[in-house]
Amino acid sequence: MAENIVVGAGLAGLVAAINLRRDGREVVVLDKESRVGGSPVFHPSAGGTPVDFEALERYIDLDLSPGKVGPAVAPIKRCGAVVYGQVVPVDMAAISGHLFERGPRSTSIDSYLYGLALEEGVRFEFGRAVWSNDDIAKMPPDTIIATGLNFEGFDATRTPYLTSFHFLARQTIPASDDNHVMIYHGRYTRDYAYTSSMNGMQMAHVFQRDPIGGDTLKAFEEQMYRTEGIEFDSWEHFTFPVPAASRRNPRLFAGDKILAGTLAGCMESYMFFGMHGALVSGKIAALAVRDKSVALAEFELATSSFAPAYFLKKLTRPVPHALHKRQLKLALPMLSTSPRAGRVMMVAMPGWKNCER
Ligand SMILES: Cc1cc2nc3c(=O)[nH]c(=O)nc-3n(C[C@H](O)[C@H](O)[C@H](O)COP(=O)(O)OP(=O)(O)OC[C@H]3O[C@@H](n4cnc5c(N)ncnc54)[C@H](O)[C@@H]3O)c2cc1C
């Protein structure tokens, strides 16, 4: 039997590969890096997201219980938001907020899924970059492309995107179970910034959908130091594409190829939560190899909130900082106290509705 090709050994690609193997197919995963864990510029990292594990594991058919994933995933213990200098407590329990370790370390979700994929008999070829539309065109039908937040994948599949601009820093800290996230809103970004820590790693990330300068970083650094006393020695500056709403996005198919993960538009477009959608979309991509119309219906449900969330973000972006501050001061306490407000955020996550059924 010919091997099914999956390009990208990230969240979506690994879930797709495991599910294809379980369908009795031969699978090879190609990744441009020399090992699992994605780009060394992006990871290791500690990313936060709402996630209902029981529902998610039922849907993607993988055991994500703490006894299995170990320290790769953990509930957020301490969370708050800094709204233009003022700290507002946020209760993540209302939205089941969790942290995922991403990257090549043995304690990451990538390593956990990679281990599962090897057990299932998936074959991997690392150091295999797919750069262009020509490369993709030469691949057999039903190849799954899941290259994540990289320009080449978006360009090669002609998927519309916006460029986002980032500063990221990380450092090791004494290991503890004080998993934390602090979200920052202020004049330094039109989107947001955060600090997070888990598994003896601490990081800070500030970004927006407009170019971002050194002054911005300095203002965020000062706020972070005043609030949490955290400092970093050095910062990485980079850009990456984020899906833009259009006729060609979100989409499951690009010609006779199948898209998965962020490249398929499975990223929530308000806060940029992408991990939940990527995991769900891996399952849908594998299903698309077996049954295109069932997979398409699942995909449409998974991404039904993408366009509304995208346009809401577009609408609210130009609001002056003073109004933004007032909105946040109203909205954030609601998120902590009202299950309804939490639910609005959760159903905006790609794949959440699929898992809920
Ligand atoms: C710094 C950072 C912080 C983030 N924080 C959060 C967060 O807090 N919460 C959240 O929900 N989401 C967060 N995200 C988004 C989330 O990580 C992504 O949406 C999610 O990982 C997408 O999954 P994926 O499977 O599509 O791609 P990835 O998991 O990124 O996997 C893509 C894989 O494809 C490989 N690849 C790339 N290009 C090629 C190529 N040309 N040829 C072959 N292989 C290739 C990569 O090496 C990688 O292994 C963050 C992203 C970044 C970069």
Whole-number pLDDT of residue 31? 97
C-alpha dist (Å) from residue 63 to 9, 247, 352: 19, 35, 17
Q: What is the pLDDT along the chain (357 residues), one digit of tens a residue?
A: 789 999 999 999 999 999 999 999 999 999 999 999 999 999 999 999 999 989 999 999 999 888 899 999 999 999 999 999 999 888 888 888 999 999 999 999 999 999 999 999 999 999 999 988 889 999 999 999 999 999 999 999 999 999 999 999 999 999 898 899 999 999 999 899 999 999 999 999 999 999 988 888 999 999 999 999 999 999 999 999 999 999 889 999 999 999 999 999 999 988 899 999 999 999 999 999 999 999 999 999 999 999 888 888 888 888 899 998 998 888 888 877 777 777 888 888 999 999 999
Whole-number pLDDT of residue 125? 98
Nearest CA to ligand 1 atom 5: 47
For ligand 1, mutation pick of 28, 32, 168 (most atoms within 8 Å of CB): 32
Q: How far is the CA of 78 from the centre of ligand 1 (A)?
A: 25
Tell me whether residue 81 is exposed, middle or buried, using C-beta atoms within 10 angstroms of its C-beta: 0 to 12, 13 to 18, 19 or more.
buried
CATH number for the domain spanning 73: value is: 3.50.50.60
Whole-number pLDDT of residue 38? 97
For ligand 1, mutation pick of 51, 102, 109, 132 (most atoms within 8 Å of CB): 102
Distance CA 76, CA 187 (A): 26
Whole-number pLDDT of residue 94? 80
Q: How far is the CA of 310 from the centre of ligand 1 (A)?
A: 19
Closest approach atom of ligand 1 to CA 196: 8
Whether 32 is in the pocket of ligand 1, judged by its Cβ within 6 Å, is yes
Distance CA 270, CA 164 (A): 13
Distance CA 291, CA 315 (A): 37
Nearest CA to ligand 1 atom 48: 38
Whole-number pLDDT of residue 342? 78
Kindly report the backbone phi and psi dihedral angles of residue 122, in degrees, each rounded to the nearest multiple of 5, phi listed first.
-75, 140
Nearest CA to ligand 1 atom 47: 38
Nearest CA to ligand 1 atom 52: 42
Whether 12 is in the pocket of ligand 1, judged by its Cβ within 6 Å, is yes
Whole-number pLDDT of residue 281? 98
Nearest CA to ligand 1 atom 11: 273
Q: Which domain range does residue 12 map to?
A: 4-356
Q: How far is the CA of 321 from the centre of ligand 1 (A)?
A: 30
Distance CA 13, CA 282 (A): 6
- The span from the first CA to the last CA of the chain, in angstroms, equals 34
Closest approach atom of ligand 1 to CA 128: 43
Whether 332 is in the pocket of ligand 1, judged by its Cβ within 6 Å, is no
State how many domains the chain has: 1
Whether 90 is in the pocket of ligand 1, judged by its Cβ within 6 Å, is no
Whether 261 is in the pocket of ligand 1, judged by its Cβ within 6 Å, is yes
Closest approach atom of ligand 1 to CA 102: 17
Closest approach atom of ligand 1 to CA 130: 42
Q: How many CA atoms lie within 13 A of 60 on its CB side?
A: 31
Distance CA 307, CA 94 (A): 25
